[in-house]
Amino acid sequence: MQLPDPLRMNDWDNRRFFRAFQVLQAALIGVICLDLAGFHMPIAREILAFIYMTFMPGILVLKALRLHGLGAVRTTLYSAGLSLAVLMLTGLAANTFYPLLGYMRPFSLEALFPMLIIVMQILLLIALARDREYAGSSTFVLAFPPAPAVPLLVLLPLIAIIGTHVRNEHHMVTYLFLLLILIALVGLAAGFDRFIPASCYPLAVYSIALALLYHTSLISGYIWGYDIHHELHLVNSVLGPGLWDSTIPYNTNGMLSVVMLVPIYSLITGMDPVWVFKIIYPLLFALVALALYSVVERQTNARIGFLSVFFFVSFFVFYTEMVSLARQQIAEIFLSLTILAMVDRSIDRGMRSILLVIFGFAMIVSHYGLSYIYLLSLIPAWLLLVFAERLPAGIGERLLGPRGTRKHNLPAGTHIRTLILPYILALILLAYLWYSTVAGGTAFATIAEIGDKIGAALFAEAFSPTTAQGMHILTSQAVTPLHSLAKVIHMATQGLIGVGLLATLLGRRRWRIEPEYIAISIVFLLVNLAGIIVPFFASSLNTSRLYHITLILLAPFAIIGGMALYEAVVGRIKVARSVPFMGTAYQALAVFFAVFLLFNTGLIYQVAGDSPTSMALETTRDKPVFNGKELMGAEWLIAAGEKRPIYVDGMRWWLLLGFDPDHQRYLPANASLLEPGSYLYFGTYNVVRESVRIEVKEHAVLSADYTGAGRFTRNRDRIYDNAGSAVYYW
């Protein structure tokens, strides 16, 4: 039995597409109306709204651009990215025009949903008018799984959901252990070319990415982490009054990925913003893995693509720090799509330019830090390309590939480079206009402040462990020998990247890697180096996040570097191939990165009982994971606090950030420094362990220590206590 491929709706004929679109839209309208009337159909509204908003606007834009024959993977990726851009702009338009018409609550269901329907109908008319001559193609898909591996791959996210539920309710992590072992086995199976065919690699990378994200994001019934609490505060500041105040002077307030996208998903799906962050955003962020696979696979081969993405998602930042950075999750989707459009030679240059501008602008309004890194990397990358083009023919081709494009069946000498100066200048102008005008220009002021700090300390404090956060990590002593081994493994991956990039430059004819990709990768490698050397550079984002960002482009070179080393060492010592797991370079790399995954997820530390680090597997240590009683205590305090200063320790500080960032204070080491007439908030860890976390920042390095809570509460009135949180009046 065969059915039309729903992942390639832009390739359907117009009549079939029109009918399917209207049926989906009518079903969503009907379900929402029934919900409002009190007849709730479980999950129906959430699923229909997610599909409608996440894919249909982008499908309409693809049809309007007359982009067909992209295949299921690229159609899914481009449609999702374009849909997110359309949703953010729709929210911005609603926030701008509704008040002009006298309606001051644009972010309400009765105002936003009709506007979204109108926007979709306009896009539908444009798409059908521009694409009216397209007759459609035979895009069919088998109704049954094509390989035995499919059920296992589909089950991975489900095991993550079950595992986190059991952990939350019963403090048992058996299912999460099983999940991580299965993911490592999937990586090994791909490396050994067993059980999982290359046709299943796209499903595999998405399922692995989503499972890793869910195994942390679904911890607790509330958001956990760091910046995400402030992001939730800004979302509630939009949903509460029903209007986005663009003048609130917070960097994050200018990011449409938070203040537009979350309220839209929350209102249309009917989900609380907390669950939008915990369920929907991981579904979106996992697309980054799929996009990177498509980028690498098109330039190398399927197995290198899979192993590259396996390395990328195994690094702990992907499923820990990024879970609490919603705005960067969305921005990385646009960055990965920008890279995909840059190397996608199946689309003509004009259409790629349109996609690059759309995704570039969407990235700018999604996260300022990532956008700054990308924009600042484009200029030296462009200069590198221009310089290589002006070198003698042999040298230029050796560095960045042939100047002609015979491998794309175009005449030699044809200039199809997409990384051009007008594109860079356009993005810089858009970034300047947005960051200098929205949210009081704080995002623009932030980069200027960072530049001043770097300039002031560049020559005097370069390589200093107190100012260069990357150098501090390299020179600091690991807590145990097992953690020292993990540090060596991390450093080995960076060495593989350097070897791989060098091997690529020296062996250009072996790979199909695009010149733009290589040029930006070289700059990203220098960005990594700057994180180690340049004062205050890495600390503006955190060194781990900076490395994670650069891995978006650099991960494939670790695989290429591993292959080059294997060929140089094992290839010359034939007896070495008889060693277990060393039969091929792919097998050796699969084993290495499976071990890398088990270290990064903390499973090895947990089994060994050696200073566990996992957010999911470790349930006793102090972490930014908060329970219902802590939440109740914070809500009570904010409601009754009368805008007095609120002192809180370094870990609970993040919870309070989601409620009232203007009145909380870090708890000082000296109790006498607390302001009279203020409040002191304690969470569960503080109450049960009678301990508080005191944080001290010296230049770019944050240090923390725990001290007894008694000296802060002695002779003080406890005015609130629910056995999980407490409030004292100072």
One DSSP character per residue, 192-233 reads: TT-SS-GGGHHHHHHHHHHHHHHHHHTSSSS--SSHHHHHHH
Per-residue pLDDT, averaged over 106-122, amounts to 97
Per-residue confidence (pLDDT) for residue 402, from 0 to 100 = 56
pLDDT band at 281 (very low <50, low <70, confident <90, very high): very high
Averaged pLDDT of the chain: 89
If we measure between CA atoms, which residue out of 649, 660, 661, 641 comes closest to residue 624? 649
Per-residue confidence (pLDDT) for residue 213, from 0 to 100 = 98
What's the rounded Cα separation, in Å, for the pair 119 and 464? Answer: 54
Residues 687 and 586 in one domain: no
Please compute Rg for the chain using Cα positions: 26
Residue 553 pLDDT greater than 80, yes or no: yes
Mean pLDDT check: name the lowest of 139-153, 435-449, 630-644: 139-153
Residues 137 and 153 in one domain: no
Residue type at 101 in one-letter notation = L
Q: Is the residue at 694 inside a domain? A: yes
556 and 296 Cβ atoms separated by less than 8 Å: yes
Q: Indicate the pTM of the whole model.
A: 0.94
What's the rounded Cα separation, in Å, for the pair 486 and 682? Answer: 34
Per-residue confidence (pLDDT) for residue 466, from 0 to 100 = 59
- CA 510 from centroid of its chain's CA atoms: 31
Mean pLDDT is highest, among 75-84, 242-251, 388-397, for: 75-84
What's the rounded Cα separation, in Å, for the pair 613 and 597? Answer: 13
Q: Which of 608, 640, 669 is the last residue of a domain?
A: 608
Please name the helix (run of DSSP H) or strand (run of DSSP E) that holds residue 544, with its range, or none.
helix 543-569
Per-residue confidence (pLDDT) for residue 398, from 0 to 100 = 58
What's the rounded Cα separation, in Å, for the pair 597 and 666? Answer: 35
If we measure between CA atoms, which residue out of 311, 264, 446 comes closest to residue 371? 446
709 and 691 Cβ atoms separated by less than 8 Å: yes
What's the rounded Cα separation, in Å, for the pair 623 and 635? Answer: 20
Q: How do residues 573-627 score in pLDDT, each as one tens digit?
A: 766 666 777 778 999 999 999 999 999 999 999 999 888 889 899 888 899 999 9
Mean pLDDT check: name the lowest of 19-28, 185-194, 374-383, 405-414: 405-414
699 and 466 Cβ atoms separated by less than 8 Å: yes
Residues 188 and 274 in one domain: yes
Q: How do residues 256-265 score in pLDDT, each as one tens digit?
A: 999 999 999 9
Residues 60 and 9 in one domain: yes
Per-residue confidence (pLDDT) for residue 465, from 0 to 100 = 57
Residue type at 353 in one-letter notation = S
Residue type at 25 in one-letter notation = Q
Q: How do residues 19-71 score in pLDDT, each as one tens digit?
A: 999 999 999 999 999 999 999 888 999 999 999 999 999 999 999 999 999 99
**Count of domains for the chain:** 3
Which residues, 6+ apart, have CB-to-CB distance to 191 below 8 Å? Answer: 303, 307, 586, 587, 589, 590, 591, 594
**Helical spans, DSSP H, in 406-480:** 421-437, 442-457, 469-475
Q: Strand pairing partners for 718?
A: 728
Token representation of residue 418: 């997409």
What's the rounded Cα separation, in Å, for the pair 297 and 283? Answer: 22
Q: Is the residue at 82 inside a domain? A: no
- CA 266 from centroid of its chain's CA atoms: 19
pLDDT more than 90, % of the chain: 69
Per-residue pLDDT, averaged over 398-403, amounts to 57
Per-residue confidence (pLDDT) for residue 305, from 0 to 100 = 97
Q: Is the residue at 708 inside a domain? A: yes
CB burial of residue 729 (10 Å; 0-12, 13-18, 19+)? middle
pLDDT band at 672 (very low <50, low <70, confident <90, very high): confident
What's the rounded Cα separation, in Å, for the pair 467 and 132? Answer: 60
191 and 587 Cβ atoms separated by less than 8 Å: yes
Token representation of residue 530: 């700057």
Residues 538 and 645 in one domain: no
Per-residue pLDDT, averaged over 283-307, amounts to 97
Q: Is the residue at 204 inside a domain? A: yes
Token representation of residue 578: 């008889």
If we measure between CA atoms, which residue out of 597, 548, 655 comes closest to residue 274? 655
What's the rounded Cα separation, in Å, for the pair 67 and 75? Answer: 9
Per-residue confidence (pLDDT) for residue 577, from 0 to 100 = 67
Triad 575, 578, 582: Cα angle to 5°: 110
Expressed as residue numbers, the domain containing 661 is 628-729
SS3 478: coil
Which residues, 6+ apart, have CB-to-CB distance to 67 below 8 Å? Answer: 10, 78, 347, 351
Q: Is the residue at 275 inside a domain? A: yes
Q: Is the residue at 78 inside a domain? A: no
If we measure between CA atoms, which residue out of 366, 476, 306 comes closest to residue 87? 366
Per-residue confidence (pLDDT) for residue 148, from 0 to 100 = 84
Q: What are phi and psi of 699, to 5 degrees?
A: 60, -105
What's the rounded Cα separation, in Å, for the pair 706 and 719? Answer: 24
- C-alpha dihedral (343, 345, 346, 351), degrees to nearest 10: 80
291 and 363 Cβ atoms separated by less than 8 Å: no
What's the rounded Cα separation, in Å, for the pair 565 and 570? Answer: 8
Residues 597 and 678 in one domain: no
> Helices 543-569 and 585-600: crossing angle, nearest 10°?
150
Q: Which of 576, 608, 640 is the last residue of a domain?
A: 608
Q: Are strands 701-708 and 691-698 parallel, antiparallel or unpaired?
A: antiparallel
What's the rounded Cα separation, in Å, for the pair 91 and 615? Answer: 34
Please name the helix (run of DSSP H) or strand (run of DSSP E) that holds residue 560, with its range, or none.
helix 543-569
SS (H, E, C) 591-611: HHHHHHHHHHCCHHHHHHCCC
Q: How do residues 347-368 score in pLDDT, each as one tens digit?
A: 998 999 999 999 999 999 999 9
Residues 102 and 157 in one domain: no
Token representation of residue 334: 């646009």
Per-residue confidence (pLDDT) for residue 442, from 0 to 100 = 83
Q: What is the Cβ-side half-sphere exposure of residue 725, based on CA atoms within 13 angstroms?
A: 21
199-203 long-range contacts, Cβ below 8 Å, gap at least 24?
Answer: 199/146, 199/147, 200/146, 200/147, 200/149, 200/150, 200/153, 201/293, 201/297, 201/302, 201/303, 201/305, 201/306, 202/72, 202/73, 202/290, 202/293, 202/294, 203/150, 203/153, 203/154
What's the rounded Cα separation, in Å, for the pair 541 and 526? Answer: 16
SS3 387: helix
Residue 145 pLDDT greater than 70, yes or no: no
Q: How do residues 505-523 score in pLDDT, each as one tens digit?
A: 987 677 789 999 999 999 9
Residues 585 and 698 in one domain: no
Query: Which string of DSSP letters, residue by residue, matches 373-399?
Result: HHHHHHHHHHHHHHHHHTS-HHHHHHH
Please provide the size of the chain in residues. Answer: 730
Higher pLDDT, 670 or 90: 90
Residues 590 and 672 in one domain: no
Residues 186 and 220 in one domain: yes
Per-residue confidence (pLDDT) for residue 450, from 0 to 100 = 64
Which residues, 6+ apart, have CB-to-CB distance to 432 below 8 Å? Answer: 444
Higher pLDDT, 166 or 659: 166
What's the rounded Cα separation, in Å, for the pair 369 and 373? Answer: 6
Residues 120 and 201 in one domain: no
Per-residue pLDDT, averaged over 388-393, amounts to 75
What's the rounded Cα separation, in Å, for the pair 442 and 273? Answer: 25
28 and 51 Cβ atoms separated by less than 8 Å: no
Residue 298 pLDDT greater than 50, yes or no: yes
Q: Are strands 717-721 and 726-729 parallel, antiparallel or unpaired?
A: antiparallel
What's the rounded Cα separation, in Å, for the pair 76 and 290? Answer: 10
What helix, strand, coil percent values describe the chain, rounded to 5? 65, 5, 30
Per-residue confidence (pLDDT) for residue 536, from 0 to 100 = 59
Residues 707 and 575 in one domain: no
Q: Is the residue at 616 inside a domain? A: no
Token representation of residue 50: 């997610």
Q: Are strands 679-682 and 646-648 parallel, antiparallel or unpaired?
A: parallel
Q: Which of 142, 159, 186 is the last residue of a domain?
A: 142
Which residues, 6+ apart, have CB-to-CB distance to 479 below 8 Å? Answer: 611
Question: Scanning the structure block, which residue is given the tokens 């591993």?
Answer: 562
Q: Is the residue at 367 inside a domain? A: yes
pLDDT more than 70, % of the chain: 88
- C-alpha dihedral (373, 376, 377, 381), degrees to nearest 10: 170
